[in-house]
Amino acid sequence: MPFRPTPPPETPLWATLKDSYSQTRAGMPHGWRAQARQTTEDLEAFYLSDSQRADLSERRPVWRWVLRAWWLAKALFFRLTPARRVLLVAALLLVVVGRQPLVSVGGNLNAGLDLILLGTAVLLVLLMLELKDKLLARYELEAGRAVQQALMPDEPPRVPGWDVWLYSRPANDVGGDLVDHLQVNGRTRLVLADVAGKALPAALLMAKVQATLRALATEVPELPALAARTNTILCRDGLPNRFATMVYLEIDGRSGHVTLVNAGHQPPLVITPAGHHELPHGGMALGLMPGSSYAEQAATLDPGAVLLVYSDGVTEAMNDAGTFFGEERLLALVPALSGLTSEQAGRRILASVDAFVGQRRPHDDLSLIVLKRQEPSV
């Protein structure tokens, strides 16, 4: 069955316009100028090359606006299909010609106005065609998001002696971060993987990484061998310049022992009331180099200690000034995390990142695994 957009609500046009205006104003807490500046920056980042943006920064204000308008118009034109390029040029010609002082054509004194109306109608048809494509792409992305959410765990695992919290938030409709858990031979395994890139290409590779890890989990119980086999499969079946970093953990519910393998990911943090330290760096990212080997790491957490695994969406979160959240800000939060539950600690990190980013759109997918060793029950 072909996709059709949801019919518009049965709301009067004027009431809808007033509501849309109110929502638009509410979505601009910093005013129209700030929103216009942000919109211009978004258009430049999407349509213009790095060299063009660098050139604009060196121009005088007047020439900057002239060049920006010209380059954006060219980018728009060349991203249309050939037929729609013809429609756009025809519509603009009709509007321009219609504005000229025309004489009567066939007794019609309103020929100029007719041409303007015809050009406007062609532009509306072109807009409807582009909107149709956007709605179809949105529908496909929403379907992909639903599938991706179904692949993610609904809730964290329940492990005796551990307080576990998992979180993942894509920067776009679909993302390239993987947070998952499963039971293997009576033990709980967790994984946080980060695929290079964002959106649909990263999401597709993420699904392949998850399927590969789950398929090999019981066949290859040793964590270093599991990472090596996954790397071999991604090198064989993957795409050039596409890779994934990963931390794969196994926790023992009877003790505070954690074993893990790190494939090119940020080292996890062990947080205790006395301080914190990073675990060692790991091996090569998955999918980069055939034959890569991986070493098993181990850590023992005392009651009250926290193990934090995070994606680079935390440290590389960016604010309006183009500044990264950074590892220093993350480490500044560490002293307050050891006294919290795993979810409270994760929410504290998220709140700090969101406050730092402000109104800027997310720069990257963001994921967390927070493990806290619980105090023994009396």
Looking up residue 256, the CATH number of its domain turns out to be: 3.60.40.10
- Same domain membership, residue 355 and residue 213: yes
Residue 293 lies in a domain: yes
How many whole angstroms separate alpha carbon 207 and alpha carbon 117?
Answer: 50
Domain that holds residue 47: 13-147
Residue 351 lies in a domain: yes
Residue 4 lies in a domain: no
- Same domain membership, residue 37 and residue 168: no
Among 147, 178, 200, give the residue marking a domain's end: 147
Do residues 314 and 330 touch, judged by C-beta distance below 8 A?
yes
Number of domains in the chain: 2
- Same domain membership, residue 90 and residue 165: no
Beta-carbon contacts of 305 under 8 Å, excluding residues fewer than 6 positions away, are 256, 270, 271, 272, 338, 372, 373
Residue 219 lies in a domain: yes
> Could you list the pLDDT tens digit for every one of the 378 residues in the chain?
555 666 666 667 777 777 777 777 766 666 677 777 777 887 888 888 888 888 888 888 888 889 998 999 898 889 889 999 999 999 888 888 877 665 445 555 566 677 888 888 999 999 888 888 888 877 776 766 676 666 677 788 898 889 999 999 888 777 788 999 999 888 899 999 998 877 777 888 888 889 899 999 989 989 999 999 999 999 988 677 789 999 999 998 778 899 999 999 999 999 988 889 999 999 999 999 999 999 999 999 999 999 999 999 999 998 888 899 999 999 999 888 878 999 999 999 999 999 999 878 787 889 999 999 987 664
Which class for 187: exposed (0-12), middle (13-18), buried (19 or more C-beta within 10 A)? Answer: middle
- Same domain membership, residue 209 and residue 344: yes
Residue 2 lies in a domain: no
Among 114, 132, 147, give the residue marking a domain's end: 147
Predicted TM-score (pTM) of this structure: 0.73
Residue 8 lies in a domain: no
- Same domain membership, residue 227 and residue 260: yes
- Same domain membership, residue 117 and residue 215: no
The angle formed by the CA atoms of residues 218, 223 and 227, to the nearest 5 degrees, is 95
- Same domain membership, residue 329 and residue 251: yes
Residue 6 lies in a domain: no
Among 93, 119, 147, give the residue marking a domain's end: 147
